[in-house]
Amino acid sequence: MTEPKHRLLRALLRLPVDRTPVWIMRQAGRYLPEYREVRAKAGSFMNLATQPELACEVTLQPLRRFDLDAAILFSDILTIPDAMGMGLYFAEGEGPKFERPVRDVAAIRALPRPDPDDALRYVMDAVRLIRARLADEKPLIGFAGSPWTLATYMVEGGSSRDFARVKALLYEDPDAAHLLLGKLADCVTDYLNAQIEAGAQAVQIFDSWGGALAHDAYREFSLRYMARIVDGLKREHDGQKIPVILFSKGCNTQLEGLADTGADALGVDWTITLAEARHRVGHRVALQGNLDPSVLLASPAAIRAQARATLESYGDGTGHVFNLGHGITPGVPPEHLGALVDAVHEFSPALHAGY
């Protein structure tokens, strides 16, 4: 197995780099006018996400503007439940919804295990197309939602503020909850492995709603299933190691448990310093993050100062991937992201001298 050449992959594997790599969650998105133009031509979000040529185009747009260290596949975390026949649609101003939410054991048992090369072929076609267009200049990150995060949408029928239905299920009928989460863990494993086979060079699991769970419930209903996925993933492909990133928002009390899963890197939100996170996980994993996305609404001077502070919080040496603590927000001026990327390029080389 050969060492990777790409800065991002090296940092995720805690290998020496010349500067801290940077990519941004939701870097292909509504803050870019070119994205909004393609989205308007597509007619709907689902048309955009399910047409490989369009998904490839918006994936590559931010790399044309900014010197980022990776592309991340443009898709949606709810592709798996959609492939299970739940009838995903997007209501204007309300976000994702399902025509047929799962609310009982019978509905959970009836859920199929979709073949990602069949029901989700459009995603794999997009991965292959993006890799071909990147021509190995930058690596491609694939992704999926965590079983718990997918389950919240599937049981609630869409987005939720209090997760009342899904939490009632896990406390009232934990066996049913485990049945659903187990099915989803198998589906996510299949899906990410198919992305790796198609060309993804790293994968991230988004546990967007892990922070909604109480401490012990998190370990039982979220962490347990992410560990199961990590254990089932292809960690090598075409002679290269495939790094795995876990991002569990609002779960800083769980960093040690997340590091124990065997993942290569942990995404960290902005409610903890990188210095503290690094102290707690030691050398077991790389860290990704963790600038507050709202900083990008401030002036370029303020952005530069906060970028420098984030880099200095992590400190010297490898094992840090610069990112936001969550996705970029639609109102950010593109030039502000440019200021952030430039600041990481300017300030980070000094932290890697001698490594």
* Active site amino acids: 26, 30, 39, 76, 153
How far apart are alpha carbons 17 and 38 in whole angstroms?
35
User: Token match 């075409």: residue?
Assistant: 238
Residue 28 annotated as binding site? yes
How far apart are alpha carbons 48 and 63 in whole angstroms?
18
Question: For residue 131, what are the CA distances in angstroms to 72, 135, 136, 199, 307?
Answer: 11, 6, 7, 6, 30
- DSSP code for 223: I
Helix (H, G, I), strand (E, B) or coil at 204: strand
Q: What angle in degrees, to the nearest 10, is found between the helix axes of 147-156 and 174-198? A: 120
At a CB cut-off of 8 Å and minimum separation 6, what does 40 contact? none
Is residue 266 within 8 Å of residue 258, measured between CB atoms? yes
Tokens of 300: 């370029």
Residue 14 annotated as binding site? no
Helix ranges (H only) for 84-199 are 105-110, 121-134, 147-156, 164-172, 174-198
Which string of b and e fits 45-67 if b means at least 16 CB within 10 Å? ebebbbebebbbbbbbbbbeebe
Residue 146 annotated as binding site? no
Residue 326 annotated as binding site? yes
Is residue 211 within 8 Å of residue 249, measured between CB atoms? yes
Residue 319 annotated as binding site? no
Cβ neighbours around 237 below 10 Å, total: 15
Is residue 88 within 8 Å of residue 98, measured between CB atoms? yes
At a CB cut-off of 8 Å and minimum separation 6, what does 205 contact? 143, 144, 145, 146, 188, 192, 226, 229, 230, 244, 245, 246, 247
Residue 76 annotated as binding site? yes
Residue 64 annotated as binding site? no
User: Token match 């290569």: residue?
Assistant: 264
Residue 29 annotated as binding site? yes
Is residue 240 within 8 Å of residue 203, measured between CB atoms? no
For the annotated binding site, the residues are: 26-30, 76, 153, 208, 326
For the annotated binding site for substrate, the residues are: 26-30, 76, 153, 208, 326
